[in-house]
Amino acid sequence: MVLAKSPIEDAYDNARRYLDEEKIRSALQEASDFGASYAEVRLVSITDSSVATRDGQLERAIPGQEVGATMRVLANGAWGVHSTTDIESIPSQVESTVRLAKAVAERRSSKDKPVSLADVPIIEDSVHWIPEKDVRVTELEEKLDLLNVLYENSKDDKKIASVICGWHDEHIHTEFMSSEGMNRVWSFQRSLINATVTARDGSDVVSYRTRHGGEGGLELIEQCDLATLGSDAKTSAIRLLKAERSPSGKLPLVADRDLTGVYIHEALGHPCEADLVAAGDSCLDGKLGQKIGNDIVTVIDDPTIRGGYGAHPIDDEGLDTKEKCLIKNGVLTDYLNHRESAHHFGIEPNAGARAQDGLHHPLVRMSNTLIKGGTHNDLDELIEDIEYGVYACGSRGGQVDTGRGSFQFAAQEAWLIENGSITTPLKDVSVSGLTLQILKDVDGLTTDSRLAAPGFCGKGQTVPVGDGGPIMRIKEALVG
Amino acid sequence: MLPDDALDRLVDGSNQIANLCRQNKIEQWEIIAMQSYGHQLDIEAGKISLAAGGGEGGYGIRVIEDGKFGYAHLVDLKSADNAIKQALSIARISPSIKGFSLPSSQETEEVKGLFDKRILSVGPEELLQQADSILSEVSSLDKRAVVTGGGLGVSATAGVLTSSEGIDHHGITTSHGLGVQVSIDENDQLTSSWQGESSKKLIDKVPNCIASSVDWAQKTRDPIKVDSGAEDLPVLMTSEGLGSLFSIVVSSAIRGERLTRMESFWSGKQGEQVLANDLTLIDNARMEGGSSSSSRDGEGVPTQRQVIVDSGKLVGSLWSTRDSAKLVAEGKIDKASTTGSASRGGHQSPPVTTCSNLELISSSKSSSIDELLERMDSGYIVNSVMGAHTANPTSGDFSVTTSSILRVQEGEVIGAIKQAGLSGNMAKALTKDVFLGDDVRVSGGSMHIPDILLMQGLRVNPI
């Protein structure tokens, strides 16, 4: 047995270990014996629960208990990976996984740099971020009560056609052991509540989505003013029914903190991921130390911001997470990296490795990404000298072509700015631009920077992220 | 790749859970068990960066009592009893749906082309050789071209669906997929293109998408400047350019529940003209070798080829057992029944109504690219868009960006545009003056569409 315990045994005991340490140590040693220069096993057990209601009625509630593990070996400068839900199969796959890595290595030409890993401290410990109210012991009825508050406050208008509310919570438990002697266990929780409000007037139909959540337990949802969250979503949905089509063209843009977060995530965060830079797929290749943005732009990525949806104590290579400053006063100061890319660029590892779950290998990923605050006091100050522009709020998501450095993101709702005032509501506003241009065009930021609504980021694997910042003004952006 | 006893293990695990359901005296139960195995290679910076293999899977349990349902999923069979009890406790506080019960077993013919034995014997070495061939092909087509990202993989999935109502199906499907991002970075100018292909059968040659990827990375170089500002012009969307938008906007609009709840831009339009009158939209789960084909849906109901829009008129919609019973019980619709359109994302999710393989066909003669360009006269060709997922499936509105766009004047391509905004309403753009190309390809997951010329309804805003 490689599993020392079944994931359901002692389910709420944070000190428990699923992996049999001796068996895994032996497997890691075996990998070394077969010629691996490095090997690791990472097990992730996720206890989660999803709930959905439609118009106040329970639609579905799904509790789950999943466990998966990934063994990664580095041999002759190339990676071999084995991922499985059959944890007990890991020792039997060591030799074939090393062989896989060697087969990849054989295809490298002499000019290809073999994969090496940056040195990191070797740590043996356990880190548990304990929530105030553990989601694993939260009754379904409690979740339904909270969802009902959101529903009741978002449905109350004859133009509201439907309200779909959702809940997701998860307890993530990770065990990490490596051939270098790393032996760490960590756990934390995430909680999320959301609503999609659909409004209809004749043949016009629109929807508005709202979310609240982050790293933590039930307390995160209880602390949220769900009544206002629901009521605001209702108001926005109804307003969208009367909203006009967005003007198209290059216009001054003011973005609320939700959109500011998505903007910095797409436009800068992704091109800053060192695995993409190393692959030749980033417009920021070779730009470390160069001025790429306006002086007022300072950007951090910080997984240690407790409560942020992208918060986590340890990255998926076993490194303590920390704040990374990506841009300081317009100068590109760092890439987000993992051990491989840190070594590739000869920079300090900054614990940017994340995997979707136990069945995926770690990639360089963002966590909580923010633009720091500026000097403008409020929205009014930012828009007072804009003759004609757009104020865009809330995110419907975004995408980036990191190589070309072009990006797009969409707002949930927007308004025209005319002669320093917010006027006509707009719908289906999207913004696009070029990273290396638009960072220079950020010319105003309010003082108060903080994380906005939680989000998800896809890069072949999906991970929760927090994005945010202050309210931001861009001199000129392509609005459509 | 697939252990010889993979299916037997799943059947055995399902039987263990079924016995526990019986011991718990559950009125109706349904167990899904899935286990996938596969090999995968990642490509970065022109070389294979990683080789991976493994397997994953688990069990999902749906229980029903008095029209109330509960669900739970698990990996470790030791937690099955706990999962059943969780599902039961959820069912007991769920609202009852009058008339909702699990479907019983029905005979159907098996859909062909969903399993290729050759894939089972594909090992890492064969995949590595295929990756070598792809990298060589790209290099031979253009020395400057580099595969900066992508990968390829094969997998086999064993699945079992068993229920208290006599459903007992099991089988194995296979798949082979690849995708590459080809970039040309020269003279401070980087252009790139992503293309991919997947099949239930072994892809034993370097597919056309590889050459297409190089081609688009080449022809989007040296962009011209267009100072027209935003213009409403005809746009020829390639299958690859339209697929993602079409998938997000159209596939949700034809779900029966959304149509009935007035959450679709086609709500209230049954029998009315919703597409150009030569267009027919078919949801075809029985397509041989289709990526979303299956003999039975996620509830074990036989699938079908269903006409959704016939000569422009909305005539059909997609339903699962639960959705149909629920909407009838709520009095939202007089009559509805499953169309065999329930699918599962895996063992972790209960069945939900989704489209399968969507086909858009025309009764008019299809056209070659040259004929489409001649008809367009002036406009654009778009081969991929960024932000398709931000489209509004409720209204059909979208506003996306493209860096894979060519300017056309007097029927001739005159050059690429560096970047442009593309906006409009998909539902409206498909209502008239829609012309289909003659080369149907699969894009956006399971959209079987050709290149499509949309003469109206789209706005292009070049940078």
- Three-state DSSP string of B43-54: EECCEEEEEEEE
Q: Where a domain ends, among A242, A276, A298?
A: A242
Domains and CATH numbers, chain B: 6-218 (3.30.2290.10), 221-245+363-462 (no CATH), 255-261+268-362 (no CATH)
Q: Distances from the Cα of A148 to the Cαs of A52, A53, A163, A164, A453, in angstroms? A: 11, 9, 11, 11, 20
Task: Let me know whether A409 and A380 are in one domain.
Answer: yes
Structure token pair of residue B304: 């079908």
Task: List Cβ<8 Å contacts ≥24 apart for A383-387.
Answer: A383/A254, A383/A417, A383/A420, A383/A421, A383/A422, A383/A473, A384/A420, A385/A420, A386/A252, A386/A254, A386/A417, A386/A420, A386/A473, A387/A418, A387/A419, A387/A420
- What is chain B's length? 463
**Cβ–Cβ < 8 Å for B194, B384:** yes
Task: Let me know whether A182 and A288 are in one domain.
Answer: no
Structure token pair of residue B365: 């003669």
User: Which residues from chain A sit within 8 angstroms of residue B50, using beta carbons?
Assistant: 78-81, 104, 361
CB contact under 8 A, B49 and A80: no
pLDDT at residue A12, rounded to an integer: 63
**At a CB cut-off of 8 Å and minimum separation 6, what does B332 contact?**
B260, B261
Bigger pLDDT: B236 vs A404: B236
**Cβ–Cβ < 8 Å for B169, B161:** yes
**Cβ–Cβ < 8 Å for A335, A273:** yes
pLDDT at residue B133, rounded to an integer: 96
Chain A within 8 Å of B74 (Cβ-Cβ)? Answer: yes
> Is A7 within a domain?
no
Cα A205 from chain centroid? 30
Closest CA to A326 of A360, A356, A358, A282: A282
Task: Let me know whether A175 and A266 are in one domain.
Answer: no
**At a CB cut-off of 8 Å and minimum separation 6, what does B341 contact?**
B283, B285, B297, B303, B306, B318, B319, B320, B353, B354, B355, B356
pLDDT in tens, B166-217: 999 999 999 999 999 999 999 989 999 999 999 999 999 999 999 999 999 9
Q: How many domains does chain A have?
A: 2
Chain A within 8 Å of B403 (Cβ-Cβ)? Answer: yes
- Determine the Cα–Cα distance for residues A371 and A365; give it in Å rounded to an integer: 17
Size of interface A-B (CB pairs under 8 A): 256
Task: Let me know whether A125 and A156 are in one domain.
Answer: yes
Bridge partners for A325 per DSSP: A300
Structure token pair of residue B323: 């959705």
- Determine the Cα–Cα distance for residues B203 and B272; give it in Å rounded to an integer: 42
A324-328/A331-332 β-pairing? antiparallel
Q: Where a domain ends, among A189, A210, A242?
A: A242
A442-445/B28-44 β-pairing? unpaired
pLDDT at residue A3, rounded to an integer: 52
Chain A within 8 Å of B96 (Cβ-Cβ)? Answer: no
Task: Let me know whether A407 and A324 are in one domain.
Answer: yes
With bands split at pLDDT 50, 70 and 90, how would you rate the model's confidence at B65?
very high
Task: Let me know whether A63 and A173 are in one domain.
Answer: yes
> Is A322 within a domain?
yes
Q: How many CA atoms lie within 13 A of B77 on its CB side?
A: 16
Task: Let me know whether A404 and A460 are in one domain.
Answer: yes
Strand B305-310: give its sheet, edge to edge.
B313-314, B305-310, B279-284, B358-362, B447-449, B441-443
Q: Distances from the Cα of B430 to the Cαs of A232, B268, B382, B408, in angstroms? A: 34, 18, 16, 21
Q: Where a domain ends, among A208, A223, A242?
A: A242
**At a CB cut-off of 8 Å and minimum separation 6, what does B25 contact?**
none
CB contact under 8 A, A162 and B263: yes
List average pLDDT for each run of 10 residues in chain A, which is 480 residues long. 50 77 97 98 96 95 94 97 94 96 92 94 97 95 97 96 96 98 98 96 90 97 98 97 90 96 93 94 94 97 98 98 98 98 97 97 98 97 97 92 88 97 94 90 97 94 97 92
Question: For B419-447, what is the mean pLDDT?
Answer: 94
Closest CA to B404 of B393, B395, B416: B416
Structure token pair of residue B309: 């829009």
Q: Which residues of B183-196 are buried (b: 16+ CB within 10 A; e: fewer)?
A: bbbeeeebbbbbbb
**Cβ–Cβ < 8 Å for B70, B62:** yes
Q: Distances from the Cα of A376 to the Cαs of A293, A296, A452, A471, in angstroms? A: 18, 11, 19, 9
CATH number at residue A118: 3.30.2290.10
pLDDT in tens, B380-398: 999 999 999 989 888 898 9
A368-371/A462-469 β-pairing? parallel
- What is chain A's length? 480
> Is A15 within a domain?
no
> Is A395 within a domain?
yes
Task: Let me know whether A235 and A254 are in one domain.
Answer: no
**Cβ–Cβ < 8 Å for A44, A69:** yes
Query: Would you say residue B57 has pLDDT above 70?
Result: yes
Closest CA to A259 of A441, A409, A399, A386: A409
- Determine the Cα–Cα distance for residues A133 and A194; give it in Å rounded to an integer: 19
When computed from its CA atoms, the radius of gyration of chain A, rounded to whole angstroms, is 24
Alpha helices in A279-357 (DSSP H): 339-345
Closest CA to A298 of A222, A371, A377: A371
pLDDT at residue A246, rounded to an integer: 87
Q: 90-149 in A: which are within 8 Å (CB) of B?
A: 93, 96-97, 100-101, 103-104, 107-109, 112, 140-141, 144
Chain A within 8 Å of B57 (Cβ-Cβ)? Answer: yes
Query: Would you say residue B117 has pLDDT above 60?
Result: yes
Task: Let me know whether A103 and A163 are in one domain.
Answer: yes
Rounded (to 5) percent helix, strand, coil in chain A = 25, 40, 35
With bands split at pLDDT 50, 70 and 90, how would you rate the model's confidence at B48?
very high
- Determine the Cα–Cα distance for residues B88 and B238; give it in Å rounded to an integer: 49
User: Which residues from chain B sit within 8 angstroms of residue A396, using beta carbons?
Assistant: 390, 392
CB contact under 8 A, A83 and B394: no
CB contact under 8 A, A409 and B181: no
CB contact under 8 A, A85 and B56: yes
When computed from its CA atoms, the radius of gyration of chain B, rounded to whole angstroms, is 24
Task: Let me know whether A163 and A275 are in one domain.
Answer: no
Q: A431 to chain B nearest CA, in Å?
A: 8
Q: Distances from the Cα of B39 to the Cαs of A465, B209, B217, B343, in angstroms? A: 29, 21, 28, 25
pLDDT, averaged across chain B? 95
Which DSSP state fits A13? -
> Is A316 within a domain?
yes
- The residue type of B343 is S
Which DSSP state fits B109? P
- Determine the Cα–Cα distance for residues A280 and B45; give it in Å rounded to an integer: 6
**At a CB cut-off of 8 Å and minimum separation 6, what does B47 contact?**
A107, A108, A109, A112, B135
Query: Would you say residue B227 has pLDDT above 90?
Result: no
User: Which residues from chain B sit within 8 angstroms of residue A80, using beta carbons?
Assistant: 50-52
- Determine the Cα–Cα distance for residues B306 and B440; give it in Å rounded to an integer: 19
> Is A127 within a domain?
yes
> Is A16 within a domain?
no
pTM above 0.90, yes or no: yes
CB contact under 8 A, A397 and B191: no
Domain holding A440, by residue range, is: 244-479
Of A85, A204, A408, the CB nearest to B58: A85
Placement of tokens 């099949």 in the chain: B199
Q: In this predicted complex, what is the ipTM?
A: 0.90
Task: Let me know whether A294 and A420 are in one domain.
Answer: yes
Task: Let me know whether A96 and A166 are in one domain.
Answer: yes
**Cβ–Cβ < 8 Å for A179, A40:** yes
Q: Which residues of A442-474 are buried (b: 16+ CB within 10 A; e: fewer)?
A: bbbbbeebebbbbbebebebebbbbbbbbbbbb
B279-284/B305-310 β-pairing? antiparallel
Placement of tokens 């962009």 in the chain: B223
Q: Which residues of A327-348 are buried (b: 16+ CB within 10 A; e: fewer)?
A: bbebbbbbbbbbbbbbbbbeee
> Is A9 within a domain?
no
- Determine the Cα–Cα distance for residues A32 and A52; give it in Å rounded to an integer: 48
Closest CA to A320 of A281, A353, A275, A359: A353
pLDDT at residue A1, rounded to an integer: 44
Mutate to test the interface with A, among B10, B41, B50, B146 (most CBs of A within 10 A): B50
pLDDT in tens, B252-283: 999 999 999 988 999 999 999 999 999 999 99
